[in-house]
Each structure stands twice: as C-alpha cells, then as structure tokens.
Amino acid sequence: MQHHELNNPELMPTRSEDRDINIWDFTMLWAGMTINMGAFTMGAQLYPGLSPLMILGAILVAYMIVTSILVLTGDIGIRYGMPFAVYIRSCFGYQGAKIPAVLRAIPACFWFGFQTWVAAVAIGKLLELWFGYTNTTLLILVFAALQVINAIYGMKAMAKFDWVAIPALTVLIGAVTLWLLGDNDATLFDVFSAPATGDGSFWFAVMGIAGIWITMGLNSPDLTRKLERSRDHASTNFFVRNRKPFMAQLGGLIVIGTGILLVGMIGGILTGTWDPIAIVTDSISHPVVLILSMLTIAFAQWSTNTAANLMPSAYVLMNVFPRLSFGWGVAISGALGLLMMPWLFADSLLWFTVITSALLGPVAGIMIADYYLLRRGKLDPEQFYDPKGPFVYQRNFNLRGFAVFGLSFVASVAFVELAFFVGLAVSVIGYTVAMRGEVGRQQQSMTALKEAPQG
C-alpha cells in the first residue's frame, strides 16, 4: 500500500489485528452515542406540533431509515477497512473528497460543543447548589478536556467508558422519568393522550430526527472497520456479512434512541419546555434525585461525544492534513467545537439538523450509488491510496460528482419539508447516470492491468 502526501498512516485499511472491537463493545458504543441531550431536546421540541403517537411514528420511521443507511455504508468498513474520508475519493476525487468530508466535520464539531455546554451547565447547577458559585466557561473547558483525553486513547477506550456509563445512565433516565410522571400525577396514557396543535409536519419531524444521525451514516465505515473479524465478514451474502452490525444498531440505536426521544417528549409535555436542565431543576426538588439527574445529563454527553463527534472529525482533519496524528485531530476538533459556541443556537436545533440532512443526505446517496450501483461492492483498495490512480479525474476533483451534489442540495432546499428524501433520491439517480461510463472505464482498466503479463 502506497504512502504519499495524501495518506495519513491511521487512514490506511485496517488489518485483522487492528480490529479489536467485539460486537458487545460495538453495541455499547452505539448506545453511548444515542443517549444524549440533543435527542432529548428534539423529542421535546416536536410537541405540540405533532401528537405523541405521531412523534413515536416519526421516531421509528427515522431510525429505520438511518439504520438502513448505516448498514449500507458500513459494509465498506466491514469488507475493506477504509474510513469514510478515504472512500469518498472515488466519488469526488483525491483532493475533492476533502470538501464533503469537511462538511461532515462541521456538525460533528457543532454537536460536540453543544453537548459539552449542556454537561457544563448541568455540573454548574450542582456546584451552585453546593457552594453557591459556578463558572460555566471553566467547566466547559474542563469537561471538553476530559472527553478529548478519553477519545485520544481510541475506540476501545470509548467502549470501556460506555460499559460503565450506559447501564448507569439507563437506570437513572428511567428513574427520572418515573419521578417526572409521579411529580406531575400523570401516567404514560395521559402523556400519549395529550392534545396537539396539529400544525407540525410528520416528514419534517422524520428529517429532523434522521438529520442527527445522517452524519454517522457517512462515518459508519469508521466504526465497522474496527469490528473484530469473524467468518461472517467474508460472506458473499450481504445480510450475513452485516448481521452483527445490524443487531448492534437495532439494540444500541433503535431501541435506546427511541427511548431517549420519548423521554424528551414526556418531559416536554409535562413541563412545557425542551431544556432538560430546566425540566430537572423546575420539576425535581429532592436533592439526591436532582444530583443524580444532573450527573446523568453530564455523562450522557460524554458517552456520545467521543465516538459520534470527536473521532469522525479527527479522521477528516487527518485526511486534510496528512501529518496530523489522531490525538491532535481529536484535540483540534474539540477546540473548533467550542469556538463555534453552538449554545447560542439552542432554540434552532431542529432546523440545524434539517439543514445538515439537506447537505449530507446527497453525500450519503452518492456513496451508496458509487459503491452498490456502479462498483457492485468490488473495490481495489490500492486505487484509493495511489495519487496517480483512477480518481484523479479533473485535477483531483470529480466535477461530475460535485455537479450531482450541487443539484441534489438545490432540490433539497426547494422541497425543504422533504429535503432529506429528495436529496438522497436525486443524488442516487443523478450520480448513477453521470458516472456510469466513467466507472465502467475505470473497472475495465483495472481488469486489463490485472490480466497483463507481469515482468
């Protein structure tokens, strides 16, 4: 495998000995990413525009769509061990791939900063309760540093943290939900019978929820490339090959994710606010329950930020700056997230996720079309690391890929309430049509090269 100015050693295909994440660690990683206050906030903000049953329906539809994309793109990591930032060289060119990768890193840094702020405010409430003083800025810096240190030690260290955090968080979130219901003298039946204004859009809600995870849909290969090798990985049957990742995401993403969104919805309905910290402080007076609730909020951010936000953006930075180490990539990603000050946009999270899905949905569609419809899942990894390989295109930029991306984004904006679906559909169709001849020529050249006599 060639090393040159485009390649960071940590972006090379993973070997069997590099794959040290078992299926249980993988499930915990997904559960850890799913339990976060962004999802809680989203669940609360969907009411009263939609009824509770409509919100539940939107959650399930969104997570089924997201899981499908995760499994489809994750197959790249299972079979070839390449991260997202490298694979999209075939779609956008060796240098052009840096542009959609950076677009992916922006929401990762944004969510890291936002969730770090949420954790800092939660811990600050405890300090204020105990000592009558807090310093949110200092707490943001300290909590960010702790997460960065955890992420620097790699995915295995993230999984170890989640093995401790997730069971505790699950129990605590369940206890806080029961406390909220009891304190408001309500039952789940009462919550799901709550009247709605009916002025919300079901598909807009689906996009908002899916928008949180379309980012990880792109980075699914970054995770699956670390999964332990088993006899399943070499199967020619797609469903057998991806059975374990699907089961992990079924439990870690769909089940846990649905639960946290519904908890947010319950809190929003009972208290009238989307802010988890305000819900806890206004509704819970018992000091022990209050302390446990704030710790839950704080550590839920940690379990999400390391794998879902710091790691993907670090890979992007290493692709843009090949001399960068993973540790420095993580540290810079964390610093960028804080400099964005995303807490200033806390009231507009739903719109942020919709814009994110409009930008990144087309990238996911292009990846899927490139891998499945054009290359039929058959890759030569050497080509992705060869600066003179087939992905030079027009001075290392695939102008056709960018034209399809631009068209898909415009179509998404034109149909904003269906942005994700429109962008995904237009990109799959457009890229397949635009690139069919080019990819065919690439594959013919590859076949001819392999069949040519050696020496």
Q: How confident is the model at residue 16 (pLDDT cuts 50, 70, 90)?
A: confident
Q: Which residue has the higher pLDDT, 41 or 193?
A: 193
Task: Look at 71-85, 390-404, 441-455 and tell me which has the smallest mean pLDDT.
Answer: 441-455
pLDDT at position 404 is: 97
Q: What is the mean pLDDT of residues 357-371?
A: 92
pLDDT at position 451 is: 58
CB-based contacts of 413, cutoff 8 Å, min separation 6 = 358, 419
**Helical H runs in 250-325?**
256-271, 276-283, 287-305, 311-320
Q: How confident is the model at residue 138 (pLDDT cuts 50, 70, 90)?
A: very high
pLDDT at position 453 is: 58
CATH number, span 16-355? 1.10.4160.10
Q: How confident is the model at residue 119 (pLDDT cuts 50, 70, 90)?
A: confident
Which pair of structure tokens corresponds to residue 239? 């469903």
Task: Look at 106-110, 236-240, 413-417, 444-448 and tell me which has the smallest mean pLDDT.
Answer: 444-448
Q: What is the dihedral of CA 369, 370, 375, 380, to 10 degrees?
A: -150
Mean pLDDT of the chain: 85
- 66-90: b (≥16 Cβ within 10 Å) or e: bbebbbbbbbbbbbbbbbbbbbbbb
Residue 445 has pLDDT above 80, yes or no: no
pLDDT at position 454 is: 54
pTM, 2 dp: 0.85
Q: What is the mean pLDDT of residues 304-326?
A: 86
Q: How confident is the model at residue 447 (pLDDT cuts 50, 70, 90)?
A: low
Q: Which residue has the higher pLDDT, 426 or 357?
A: 426
Residue 29 has pLDDT above 60, yes or no: yes
pLDDT at position 20 is: 85
pLDDT at position 224 is: 93
Read off φ and ψ for residue 436, nearest 5 degrees: -55, -50
pLDDT at position 391 is: 94
pLDDT at position 4 is: 52
Question: CA–CA separation, 449 vs 66, rounded Å?
Answer: 38
* Percentage of the chain exceeding pLDDT 90: 36
Q: How confident is the model at residue 161 (pLDDT cuts 50, 70, 90)?
A: confident
Q: Which residue has the higher pLDDT, 439 or 347?
A: 439
Residue 99 has pLDDT above 70, yes or no: yes
Nearest in space to 277 (alpha carbons), one of 91, 49, 117, 411: 117
Using CB atoms within 10 A of its CB, is residue 357 exposed (0-12), middle (13-18) or buried (19+)? buried
Read off φ and ψ for residue 451, nearest 5 degrees: -85, -15
pLDDT at position 397 is: 96
pLDDT at position 420 is: 81
Q: Which residue has the higher pLDDT, 317 or 7?
A: 317
Q: How confident is the model at residue 200 (pLDDT cuts 50, 70, 90)?
A: confident
Q: How confident is the model at residue 449 (pLDDT cuts 50, 70, 90)?
A: low
- DSSP helix/strand/coil, 393: strand
| Distance from the first to the final alpha carbon of the chain | 20
Beta bridge partners, 397, equal 393, 394
